């Protein structure tokens, strides 16, 4: 069989897969060829060479603590944050902002059989994660009278179901032309020794999403950045599907990013404990970088400064602001983003039930763009206001801990507005409470919206 795709496979060093395709019945071979044609073979060839066959051992860089725009502790700090908030609000009113929801991941740890964004999280309403985010976008648009394009990144593993869900839910009330879905790339898993591309079935490659760093190439492919430029948008805020406490297009974060004239900014929160498994912001060889908890040299996680504070306390929420022109340079490859190898268990035709890692996957991470930026900002926000991710089915960072954080925040906002919230012996609200982002996006929004003698006497859902 002679076929340009088979020829391309052979010249990319994938003769074994080419042979397997030749041995297949025509219909199966055709299906596999279609899949092969959709992957970036020259990239796979380079990744196999650099990360599998001949991996270079990068010398670990010299790590130092990050410089962080800390939560205000005095009047001057509060005035700075107010200025940032107002600058962010102005950028929104001026239609300079777009948001990207990262929803292309596989959500393996949660083990939910649908896109993670469909997971019901509302403590009272059971609203899915997607609805909470869409409601935040809608509320921001109304408040600032802005377009605020909502870009939704999916991947082949969840694109069809995600689109169908949004359609079925009528885009949660958002205007159809204001929501754009785009699909990130997929990369094949390869054999850890030979670098051969693996198949999960005779006629199917073992493919997985190319990591959240795939956002840049995907936005480039979808010609999205040029479109944003034409619309005068120069700030892109990206956030993650699994954290319903995040405020899409957060004015304070956007303003802090703009006032710092940063090309890329990261929203951080204080780690809950030195050993929390969370990537921390640091400097590596003098440049801003995220260091994953697995890469932090042992002992550093507990190191303290003279005042007794943790040196590496700034945990990344994975939320970023990007300057559009900087994102464009990453999208075109002018500034290349590195890829990482991850050794994983992958069910393949030769090894359907692996008991140990049998495959290498390649992934790019958004935060790897940080050291490539000329200017960055690292902005702290209050953890209890902004961060409660759903990662695991139970235990830490699970639906239970996330819902508890949602209720707790709602209770605090209500109390700040003068309401009485009965609390149990553990200090938690005695009743589940939920505040829809369309009703209020922060404590101040509740002012005047509830009577001052308001008492929470049962499950409460505040929504318009
Ligand atoms: P995670 O790294 O937590 O991955 O993604 P995940 O897929 O949600 O969960 P696990 O690791 O398989 O259990 C953080 C955010 O980045 C997005 C996810 O959808 C989530 O919003 N993401 C991750 C992508 O958009 N694409 C990817 O390739 C990976």
Residue 132's nearest CA partner among 435, 385, 431, 459 is 435
* Atom 28 (ligand 1) nearest CA: 211
**Nearest atom within ligand 1 for CA of residue 106:** 7
Instruction: Read off the pLDDT of each residue in 289-302 and give the average, rounded to a whole number.
Output: 93
Give the whole-number percent of the chain exceeding pLDDT 90: 95
**Nearest atom within ligand 1 for CA of residue 153:** 25
pLDDT of residue 1: 58
CA of 4 to the centre of ligand 1 (A): 34
Number of helices and strands (H, E) in the chain?
13, 18
**Nearest atom within ligand 1 for CA of residue 239:** 21
pLDDT of residue 349: 96
- Whether 330 has a pLDDT exceeding 90, the answer reads yes
CA-to-CA distance for 240 and 262, rounded, in angstroms? Answer: 21
Would you call 384 helix, strand, or coil by DSSP? helix
Instruction: Read off the pLDDT of each residue in 325-354 and give the average, rounded to a whole number.
Output: 96
CA-to-CA distance for 303 and 312, rounded, in angstroms? Answer: 7
Q: What's phi and psi for 310, nearest 5 deg? A: -65, 140
* Atom 6 (ligand 1) nearest CA: 107
Mean pLDDT across the chain, nearest whole number? 96
Instruction: Read off the pLDDT of each residue in 36-57 and give the average, rounded to a whole number.
Output: 93
How do the domains of the chain map onto residue ranges?
59-391, 398-464
Instruction: Read off the pLDDT of each residue in 399-426 and give the average, rounded to a whole number.
Output: 97
Q: Please spell the DSSP secondary structure of 200-213, one letter per residue.
A: EETTEE-EEE--GG
CA-to-CA distance for 415 and 306, rounded, in angstroms? Answer: 36
* Atom 21 (ligand 1) nearest CA: 240
CA of 164 to the centre of ligand 1 (A): 20
CA of 108 to the centre of ligand 1 (A): 9
- Whether 60 has a pLDDT exceeding 90, the answer reads no
pLDDT of residue 16: 96
Probe target for ligand 1 pocket from 105, 211, 245, with the most ligand atoms within 8 Å of CB: 105
CA of 103 to the centre of ligand 1 (A): 7
* Atom 15 (ligand 1) nearest CA: 240
Burial of 456 (0-12, 13-18, 19+ CB in 10 A): buried
pLDDT of residue 82: 98
pLDDT tens digits, 169-215: 999 999 999 999 999 999 999 999 999 999 999 999 999 999 999 99
Is residue 301 within 8 A of residue 67, CB to CB? The reply is: no
pLDDT tens digits, 241-287: 999 999 999 999 999 999 999 999 999 999 999 999 999 999 999 99
**Nearest atom within ligand 1 for CA of residue 392:** 13
**Nearest atom within ligand 1 for CA of residue 103:** 19
CA of 16 to the centre of ligand 1 (A): 31
CA of 3 to the centre of ligand 1 (A): 36
For domain 59-391, give the CATH number: 3.90.550.10
Would you call 389 helix, strand, or coil by DSSP? coil
pLDDT tens digits, 76-120: 999 999 999 999 999 999 999 999 999 999 999 999 999 999 999
The residue written with tokens 């060093």 in the block is 13
- Whether 57 has a pLDDT exceeding 90, the answer reads no
What six digits make up the tokens of 97? Answer: 């902002």
pLDDT of residue 55: 85
- What is the model's pTM? 0.96
Give the whole-number percent of the chain exceeding pLDDT 70: 100
Contact residues of ligand 1, CB 6 A cut-off: 102-109, 116, 153, 155, 184, 209, 211-212, 214, 240-242, 318, 391
**Nearest atom within ligand 1 for CA of residue 104:** 25
pLDDT of residue 188: 98
CA of 212 to the centre of ligand 1 (A): 7
* Atom 3 (ligand 1) nearest CA: 391
């Amino acid at each position: 069989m002679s076929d340009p795709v088979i020829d391309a496979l052979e010249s990319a060093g994938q003769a074994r897969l080419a042979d397997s395709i030749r041995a297949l019945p025509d219909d199966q071979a055709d299906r596999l060829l279609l899949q092969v044609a959709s992957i970036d073979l020259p990239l796979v060839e380079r990744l196999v060479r650099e990360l599998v066959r001949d991996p270079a051992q990068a010398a670990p860089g010299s790590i130092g603590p990050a410089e962080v725009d800390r939560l205000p502790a005095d009047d001057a700090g509060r005035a700075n944050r107010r200025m940032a908030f107002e600058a962010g609000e102005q950028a929104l009113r001026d239609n300079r902002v777009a948001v990207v929801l990262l929803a292309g991941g596989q959500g393996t740890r949660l083990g939910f059989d649908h896109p993670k964004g469909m997971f019901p999280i509302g403590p009272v309403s059971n609203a899915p994660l997607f609805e909470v985010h869409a409601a935040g976008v809608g509320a921001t648009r109304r408040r600032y009278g802005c377009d605020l394009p909502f870009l939704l990144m999916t991947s082949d593993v969840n694109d069809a179901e995600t689109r169908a869900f949004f359609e079925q839910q009528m885009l949660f009330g958002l205007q159809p032309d204001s929501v754009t879905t785009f699909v990130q790339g997929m990369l094949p898993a390869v054999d850890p020794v030979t670098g051969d591309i693996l198949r999960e079935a005779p006629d199917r490659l073992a493919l997985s999403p190319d990591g959240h760093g795939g956002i840049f190439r995907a936005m480039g492919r979808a010609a999205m950045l040029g479109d944003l430029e034409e619309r005068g948008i120069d700030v892109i805020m990206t956030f993650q599907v699994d954290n319903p406490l995040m405020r899409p297009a957060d004015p304070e974060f956007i303003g802090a990013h703009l006032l710092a004239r940063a090309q890329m900014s990261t929203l951080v929160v204080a780690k809950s404990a030195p050993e929390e498994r969370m990537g921390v912001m640091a400097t590596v060889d003098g440049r801003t970088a995220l260091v994953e908890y697995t890469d932090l040299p042992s002992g550093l996680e507990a190191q303290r400064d003279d005042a007794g504070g943790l040196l590496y306390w700034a945990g990344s929420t994975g939320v970023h602001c990007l300057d559009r022109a900087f994102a464009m340079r990453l999208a075109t490859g002018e500034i290349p983003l590195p890829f990482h190898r991850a050794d994983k268990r992958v069910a393949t035709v030769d090894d359907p039930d692996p008991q140990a890692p049998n495959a290498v996957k390649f992934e790019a991470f958004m935060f790897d763009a940080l050291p490539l930026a000329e200017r960055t900002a690292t902005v702290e926000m209050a953890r209890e206001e902004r961060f409660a991710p759903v990662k695991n089915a139970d235990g830490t960072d699970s639906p239970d801990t996330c819902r508890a954080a949602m209720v707790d925040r709602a209770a605090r906002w209500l109390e700040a507005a003068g309401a009485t919230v009965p609390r149990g012996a553990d200090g938690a609200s005695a009743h589940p409470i939920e505040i829809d982002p369309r009703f209020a996006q922060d404590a101040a929004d509740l002012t005047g919206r509830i009577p001052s003698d308001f008492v929470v006497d049962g499950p409460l859902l505040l929504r318009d």
